[in-house]
Structure 1
Amino acid sequence: MTGASRGLGRHAAEHLLRHHPDRHLLVLNRRPGLAAELAAGTGNRNVSEITCDLASFADVRRAAAEVDRPLSGFLGNAGLQMQSTRETTADGVEATFGVNVLAYHLLLNLLLPNFAAPARIVVVGSDVHDSAHNSMGLIPPPRWTSPHELARPADGGGKEGRRAYATSKLGVLYLVHALARRLPEGVDAYTYNPGLVPGTGLARDANPVARAVFAGVGRLLRATPVATGPEEAGRLLAEAMAGPRPGPSGSYVDRGEVVRSSAESYDERREEELWAAADELCGITGAERRTA
């Protein structure tokens, strides 16, 4: 699991440890010590960790090489929402696209030989991938272009940083659809939408004014059916991973229910273009592809 240190991801990890104690949880995290925190907080020591920085292809490769056990599941929750499109990963890729899309493409391809059916892959998406979604003007709609263009940093301010986030979540859907077509029988892949979850710290890289706006809107929405609290969102995410099979592989799971994602998110040409470009951008070699 990635993204288990805070917010809904922390609640999901704790739920898995409390309610599925027979399953070993392996967390990938930038800082050491998370496994010990989770074990102490839940009383379940069936958890271990590998340090991994998703903003570095080299570190993703090192972490994947340290996974030495069969896997029955993968939960990709870590993600970025940046203030701009100027920030880059260690490999010079625009940070939001690099972490939210390319890092998962690389990590999942490297881990594929470890999956033993029945197995389940869940990557967290967002309803902001849909241009018709009403995000109260806080998140501009996605703007899909070529993957190589999306990977290039650009001189874009806060609005474009948030647009890059929405676009990356559209990319997650494309990635999961392409992956589902390639997985062996018994290994399923899903995109999970937790809905609006105020208080997760997703906007922590925004400027103070933007953070205040997000926080204010979040406080207003917490008491309405529009929003889901981090604890409940984490529970639903954990059950998408470890509960009954949600539906056919490739499905979009919205807070526990399989629904259709946006019309734009079903585009096999874009999906295959992204898959090929991600191979190139991540530097996936023939040997790595053969082991997958």
Structure 2
Amino acid sequence: MTTATRTIVMTGATRGIGLEAAREVLRRQRDTHIVVLGRASSAAEVLPGLLDISAHVSTVDVDLSSRASVAVAGAELEDRLDSGDLPALRGLVFNAGVHLSNAMQSTVDGFERTFAVNVMSTHQLLRQLHPHIQAPARVVVTVSDAHFGDLRHTGGTMPAPRWAIPEISRPGAFDRSENVRAGRRAYVTSKLGGIHLVHEWARRLPAGIDIVSYNPSLVVGTGLARETGGAFPFLMSQIIPMLTVTSLVDTPVPAGAKLADVILGGTPAETGSYVHRTRTMASSAESYDTDRERALWNWLEQVAQSTG
């Protein structure tokens, strides 16, 4: 059996494109140990199948909506890396995300759940683990072209993002926050926040440790639509799948392979880049705002210091 020489930590690897990407990474790089960072019950379901591909797989339990749970999971990873139980950390993949039917759900810490999972947990984990990353390495944050919020990119199914920090971190921040449309606005806003976060971290990480945002575009069969409410689950399960015969829509297997390309560096991308499926391109004009990015960073740091 090949000895593992590198570790990649992944969130969102228990279903959809994350699971397919994990399978692909294990097939392509036999010396890679993947840590599936997710809820214990979900991880337990996929672990046997991943172990059939490679023995170099383990799991760490986490609830990404709880800052305490994220901190405990991060500490477990730090301990395993420091002790040599895990080989050198060469990659982090933040693929987990939620898309909810409203913007009213509160985490145990009092934050709006979409923003907490899609943005805050990414920063918290990266803040905790980045000192352990060894170059060359790549950090990947899954985002969405829905952050454009226009007809071309969403087909009119999504509203435009509405940025305001720290207001958008709180339940009820959007107009009619109890409605489905507000849940969608919270989602697209969080994906814009993910790109802002990538830009700011790209300015702060040392040379040799790259961070990029990855947009899989429209993928059916991921389970992301299960909590969205309204007609969206019907569209994603009955209408959109008919477009998989075109180049407009992917299914999890090819989308996961594309994500694996980004994770392993097969898709060329400079740090801070926005990768659309298989190539780099510009994200929305709104996503390039250094003042916003710095303000987001500073606020997230204040949260981290106030919660220990």
Letter in structure 2 aligned against 1:174: H
TM-score, normalisation: structure 2 = 0.88
**Residue 185 (structure 1) aligns with:** 207
Note the alpha carbon deviations across 1:149-193, whole angstroms, 9 max, x for none.
001101331011011111100000000000010001110000001
- TM-score, reference length from structure 1: 0.92
Write out aligned runs for 1:76-91 (5 A): 76-91=94-109
2:116 maps to 1:98: yes
Deviation at 1:89, TM superposition (A): 1.5
Deviations 1:47-102 (A, max 9, x none): 11110110000000000001122310001100000000011122110010110001
**How do 1:59-208 and structure 2 match up within 5 A?**
59-67=69-77, 68-69=80-81, 70-132=88-150, 133-145=152-164, 147-154=165-172, 155-207=177-229
Q: Percent identity?
A: 42
User: Equivalents in 2 of 1:10, 1:186: separation in Å?
Assistant: 26
1:14 lines up with 2:23 in the alignment:
yes
1:112 match: secondary structure: helix
Tell me the alpha carbon deviations over residues 230-280 of structure 1, each in whole angstroms, 9 at most, x when there is no partner. 100000101100133622110011112111111111000000000011112
> In the alignment, which residue of structure 2 is the partner of 1:278?
300
Question: Runs of 5+ in structure 1 lacking a partner?
Answer: none
In structure 2, the residue matched to 1:53 is 63
**1:2 aligns with one of 11, 20, 42:** 11
C-alpha distance in 2 between matches for 1:116 and 1:252: 22
8 Å CA contact retained: 1:84, 1:159: yes
Structure 2 residue aligned with 1:39: 50
> Which segment drifts farther, 240-249 or 254-263?
240-249
Q: How many residues align?
A: 284
What residue is the counterpart of 1:214 in the other structure? 236
Choose from 245, 248, 253 the match for 1:231.
253
SS at match of 2:268: coil
- Indicate the residue corresponding to 1:26 in structure 2: 35
Of the structure 1 ranges 253-262 and 135-144, higher mean CA displacement relative to structure 2 is found in: 135-144
Residues 208-233 of structure 1, C-alpha deviation per residue, up to 9 Å, x if partnerless? 64321332332232222111121000
Asked whether the equivalents of residues 35 and 47 of structure 1 are also in contact (C-alpha less than 8 Å), the reply is no
Tell me which amino acid in the other structure corresponds to 2:64: L
For 2:259 and 2:306, how far apart are their aligned partners in 1?
A: 30
Decide which moves more: 112-121 or 125-134.
125-134
SS at match of 1:204: helix
Deviation digits for residues 24-57 of structure 1, max 9, x if unmatched? 11110112425632434x4311111110110000
**Cα pair 1:27 1:35 within 8 Å, conserved:** no
| C-alpha spacing 1:282/1:88, structure 2 compared with 1 (3 Å) | farther
Runs of 4+ in 1 over 6 A off after TM superposition: none
Structure with greater contact order relative to length (CA < 8 Å, sep ≥ 6): 1
Amino acid at match of 1:87: Q
Residues 245, 115 of structure 1: alpha-carbon distance in 2 compared, 3 angstrom cutoff: farther
Distance 1:284 1:206, change over 3 A: same
List runs of 5+ in structure 2 lacking aligned partners.
Answer: 1-9, 82-87
- The residue type equivalent to 1:60 in the other structure is V
